Structure 1
Amino acid sequence: MLESDKFKATVGDIVTVTLSELKQEELEALVEFIYENGSVLSEKGKKHARTLFVAADKYDIPHLRDLCTEPQELISSSKLANVISILNLSLTPFNEALNNAAVRFVLRNLLAICNTAEFKSFVRKYPDLTVEIMKSSLTRKWKNIYF
């Protein structure tokens, strides 16, 4: 990532690296992770797990991506307001554990989530997955009624 010219600007002897999609505290968490040899996610890293997950994918840091979901930082933070964005994150690149947890959360809260703008956008972007979620919801509902 740091060797790529597309992130660097050189003025004299000073090299500047720009990661414009990260806010300062998020960037600090990323640098802290890299500096600490990538063994654990700090408290600051846990706070910004979603952003670090995206950055880890973009900058090809698979261990960071795994750490952002392994301790279930993203999964445990699922709320009606953010579950669709977490479901989106699980698709690029596909993360089975995160995807399963997000889909389960969506299924449990489908009526409330269906009315959100995020869900409507998700439906347009991922129609096939939306159909699978709906089928799972109906199957689950019928099982609860008849079994």
Structure 2
Amino acid sequence: MNNQLRVVDDEEIKGEIYLSGVTVTIHPISVQIFNVNKTNRQSIHLKEFCLTDDRNVSCLFQIDATRSNTDNICAQITFNRRPIVNQYEISLYFINDHHKLEHIQTLHTDTAKDKKTLVFSKFADKFGPGCYHNRNIINECCVLCTKISRKDIPYIFAKKPALCLPSQITDCSLLFENNALANFVIVVEDREFRVHKEILASKSSVFLAMFDSEMKEKKENKMTIEDIEADVFHEFLRYIYTNIVNELNTHAEKLFVVADKYDLSKLRLICIDELTRSLKIENAIHTLMFADRYNTNTLKERTIEFIKWHIKSIVETEDYKRLYQTKQAYLLNEIILSVI
């Protein structure tokens, strides 16, 4: 009966449901089971669920009635590992008999005991002895709801897989779509991209220096780039003109390289965040080597933290076994130091 929601028809959270990094889950509990377990001082373990933006992080929600004093009944949520993409905020609600959310308590992961478990002590105020009544029941069930939100998100996701920075949206999307008034040509692979020097220079210090110099590209109003794929460069231009990136999960690594080359710091941060969220046991060593190669400490630290929590599985991967044969074998020392 435990159903994870991506869309919830309630005004209190409806406006936030499309934010990247929000996981809303309902937890219906039979009144009979609730009362029996509370009387017998037994815990109620509900179905484990994963965060919608990071499938590597799973959570277990439970009602703890094992304490000697039943007045101390509480709800708690335990992460299978400490979240590594900065901080999370966890809010606990219940749905009353008018089908409205009522807030119980909000906690943050930086206060979790053992960095994994958060205890909702105020749960007893609604469901402890003397507080539990019919307005807390729907169809013979206590319906609890958890909302887990990332607190460091520099952008939001639209309904389609596009990324948008609303504070920096410009009016250049029409110029990107139809190339009106373009005054420069960039050739990548077999494609020509007609662009506007002023727009590129306003976003990239590298392009600004190029267009402000006496290089032949400036005189010819044309240049060729040989170390970038055309599809990736097209998404790079889309970001410059509109602050939107499509298919970020596909191009994050290559877009980071382009953003690094042309000094787009905010696009670099976006790619770092996506690469962190995409961490898996199978790609962790590759991502660590990539982060080290391009000297991005944020991604490197997050990846080492991920490896630390999955070290037993990662040491069995082929990438880990091959690492000591590469020029970046020194990374093994950093991994070992993080574990001990």
Flag whether TM exceeds 0.5 (same fold).
Answer: yes
Q: Distance in 2 between matches of 1:15 and 1:96?
A: 35
Q: Does 1:134 align with 2:340?
A: no
Letter of the aligned partner of 1:32 in structure 2?
A: R
Alignment of 1:18-29 (within 5 A): 18=225, 20-29=226-235
Q: CA deviation at 1:42?
A: 1.9
Change (3 A) 1:81 1:41: farther
Change (3 A) 1:90 1:41: farther
Q: CA deviation at 1:46?
A: 4.8
Letter of the aligned partner of 2:234 in structure 1?
A: E
Q: Distance in 2 between matches of 1:22 and 1:41?
A: 19
Letter of the aligned partner of 1:58 in structure 2?
A: K
Q: What is the match of residue 319 of structure 2? A: 118
Q: Deviations over 1:17-68 (max 9, x none)?
A: 22x34333212111111223xxx44233454111111222233322221221
Q: Distance in 2 between matches of 1:83 and 1:110?
A: 10
Contact 1:87 1:99 in 2 (8 A): yes
Q: Distance in 1 between matches of 2:294 and 2:223?
A: 29
Change (3 A) 1:22 1:80: farther
Q: Does 1:77 align with 2:273?
A: no
Query: Displaced runs of 4+ in structure 1, greater than 6 A?
Result: none
Q: What is the match of residue 287 of structure 2? A: 86
Task: Choose between structure 1 and 2: higher strand proportion.
Answer: 2
Structure 2: 5+ residue stretches without partners: 1-205
How many residue pairs get matched? 128
Q: Deviations over 1:106-138 (max 9, x none)?
A: 12222332233422443332333311211322x
Q: Distance in 2 between matches of 1:82 and 1:9?
A: 42
Alignment of 1:31-42 (within 5 A): 31-36=237-242, 40-42=243-245
Judge which range, 109-118 or 27-36, deviates more.
109-118
Contact 1:114 1:120 in 2 (8 A): yes
Task: Choose between structure 1 and 2: higher helix proportion.
Answer: 1
Q: CA deviation at 1:76?
A: 0.6
Percent of aligned pairs with the same residue?
A: 25
Q: CA deviation at 1:16?
A: 4.1
TM-score by length of structure 1 reads 0.67
Instruction: Give 1:59's match in structure 2, choosing from 262, 268, 274.
Output: 262
Instruction: Give 1:97's match in structure 2, choosing from 268, 289, 298.
Output: 298
Alignment of 1:2-17 (within 5 A): 3=210, 15-17=222-224
Q: Does 1:106 align with 2:307?
A: yes
Contact 2:249 2:274 in 1 (8 A): yes
Change (3 A) 1:121 1:74: same
Contact 2:289 2:328 in 1 (8 A): no
Structure 1: 5+ residue stretches without partners: 140-147
TM-score by length of structure 2 reads 0.33
Letter of the aligned partner of 2:281 in structure 1?
A: L
SS of the equivalent of 1:127 reads coil
